[in-house]
Structure 1
Amino acid sequence: MKYRLTVLLGAVCYGVLSTIVTKAYGQGFELGEVVGSQLMTGCLLAWALSAYLGWKRKRKGSEGPGKLEDSSGIRLSWKQRGILLAAGTPTAVTGLLYYQSLHYVPNSLAILLLFQFTWMGTLIQAIGQRKRPSGTTVLTLAVLLGGTVLAAGILDQGAGSFSGRGVAFGLAAALSYSLFIWVSGKAAPAVHPASRSAWMITGGMLLVFLLFPPSFLVDGTLWEGLLPFGLLLGLFGAFLPPLLFAIGVPRIGEGLTGILGAAELPVAVLLSAIVLHEHVSTWQWAGILLVLLGVALPELVRRTSRQANAATG
């Protein structure tokens, strides 16, 4: 239960990001300032944790494999560092595309578009393995697509009421996030999660600073209202979720993680309704429930099949 709650908390952290970004835009801050401050504070937090755990390990000694105190016990080669830096760049791309979509579409729709990474990841895996998706996977994709149509409010408002540019940015963010999930699992898996997270966030930060030079560090913008948004986004977006997932996912498995990770969706839509006062219709709530069902469907089918095999065996 402890590790399930850890993963659930990580998903909830992701769910609050779009509301914070929308508020930052309302204060007049730009895309590069928002994403740059997020990754900068997340990077500082990640390196502080890695340094603390390394100091603690040297002071008390290693307490065995799998313990959080083992951080920095492996000496990384420059090749491993380069791989982790590169693996972190899709995180920055996802943030840039996702936050840009919030300029054009409502918060509740932006999170739904990002959530399309669920079926995009399945297709990427099928293409990479050159293996046709199973019947359960096809059914899941159909349920997710139907739920997205309802949750996006197309039945209420019509497809023509949405910005094509915003939808394109949101779907591109979903594709980038799918690639990040696929790449991150293959990047230096033997390295401790705290160290992996620190190097990957650094890679994302360097890319954002290359695209958007961090003038907010010298022109006073950071101290004129940007810092609180950067701290919140860095904490809930760049630091806590990767750490919480790194702790919980190995303990509960990817199937259950997918179900618990879906908590991001209702949290984001609920905050949109409460904090941003966006209207969410009954059809949209029904679509959200359908999307959650689609995420949970593969795991439910697998468990049902396992129980049936155990009963007959």
Structure 2
Amino acid sequence: MKGYIYVLLGAVSYGVLSTFVKLAYKDGFIVNDVVGIQLFIGALLLWGGVLLNKSMKSKTQKKSVKPNKKEILLLTVVGSTTGLTGMFYYLSLQYISASLAIVLMFQFTWIGVLLEAVINRKIPEKGKLLSIIPLLVGTISATNIYSTGLSAVHWLGFLFGLLAALSYSIFILLSGKVAVQTNPILKTAFMITGGFIVCSLILPPTFFTNGKLLIELALKFGFALAFFGPFLSTLLFSKGVPLVGSGAASILGAMELPTAVLMSVIFLKEHIGVSHYVGIILILIGISLPGLLRKKEIQTI
């Protein structure tokens, strides 16, 4: 039961981020600083967790696997994809609503299926192929394109949302294959550090040359974004996923979608129509379908 709670809370904590970002934009902060402060403080929190964990390990005399130089380099490279995911996602929030941005972000599910098929040169499982249908139909319904047309959605917001989904798909494919025996906190600390470096090169933060801005941004939004994003979610998923398995985790992790939408309605006063709710339900069905079909097949064996 603990594993399910960990994963659900991890997904919920990710879901609140878009609302904080929208509020930061409303308060006059720019995307460079919002992305930078989240990754910067997130990296500091994670490295603090690494030091604390190391201290606790020394007392209990438990050994942990340390990554070698090659693995550290690979972790920072993989981390660049999670940094780019946040960057593209937050860029999309400048042009479209939080409820639409999270729907586009969730296209990583079917994009991941296609990337996996190309890499492995193998046709995906029946459940994964079937899941693409409700995912795509749900996306069309949630964006309401069939009645409003593409002109109603800012093309940059749409593009950045899909780029975030693509980047996240790549992150999922790579992260599970690098330094698998390394402590989750240490592994994530390297990845978030890599993400911060890459994003800072693309969108240089301005708060390093403005102490007042750094303090104001950190106190208003930085600590919240870093805590709920790179830090808390990472810890909860690292604890929960091994207990429930990747299949159940992917289903429970979908709670991020309704959380983001609910937060946007309550705090951002965004209007959500019936078609949007129908689309969200279809997307959740699409995410759950492969795991449910796999579970059914196992029970019939």
How many angstroms apart in 1 are the aligned matches of 2:146 and 2:269?
Answer: 20
How far did residue 250 of structure 1 move?
1.7
How many angstroms apart in 2 are the aligned matches of 1:41 and 1:231?
Answer: 7
How far did residue 33 of structure 1 move?
0.2
Aligned residues between the structures: 300
How many angstroms apart in 1 are the aligned matches of 2:196 and 2:300?
Answer: 49
Unaligned runs of 5+ in 1: 63-69
> What does residue range 148-167 of structure 1 map to in structure 2 within 5 Å?
148-167=139-158
Q: Percent identity?
A: 44
8 Å contact kept, 1:37–1:227: no
Residues 60 and 304 of structure 1: CA distance in aligned 2, closer, same or farther (over 3 Å):
closer
Aligned residue for 2:192? 201
TM-score between the two structures when normalised by the length of structure 1: 0.92
How many angstroms apart in 1 are the aligned matches of 2:127 and 2:202?
Answer: 41
8 Å contact kept, 1:93–1:173: yes
8 Å contact kept, 2:67–2:179: no
How many angstroms apart in 1 are the aligned matches of 2:67 and 2:202?
Answer: 27
Aligned residue for 2:68? 77
How far did residue 155 of structure 1 move?
4.2
TM-score between the two structures when normalised by the length of structure 2: 0.96
Aligned residue for 2:137? 146
Aligned residue for 1:175? 166
Out of 80, 87, 90, the position equivalent to 2:78 is: 87
> What does residue range 37-48 of structure 1 map to in structure 2 within 5 Å?
37-48=37-48
> What does residue range 45-64 of structure 1 map to in structure 2 within 5 Å?
45-62=45-62
Unaligned runs of 5+ in 2: none
How many angstroms apart in 2 are the aligned matches of 1:226 and 1:156?
Answer: 41
- Is 1:18 aligned with 2:31? no
How far did residue 247 of structure 1 move?
1.5
> What does residue range 217-296 of structure 1 map to in structure 2 within 5 Å?
217-219=208-210, 220-296=212-288
SS class of match (2:29):
coil
Deviations 1:129-154 (A, max 9, x none): 10012332222101110011111222
8 Å contact kept, 2:32–2:206: no
How many angstroms apart in 2 are the aligned matches of 1:75 and 1:147?
Answer: 43
8 Å contact kept, 1:80–1:188: yes
After TM superposition, the runs of 4+ consecutive aligned structure 1 residues lying more than 6 A away are: none
Name the amino acid aligned to 2:254: A
How far did residue 156 of structure 1 move?
4.8
8 Å contact kept, 1:197–1:243: no
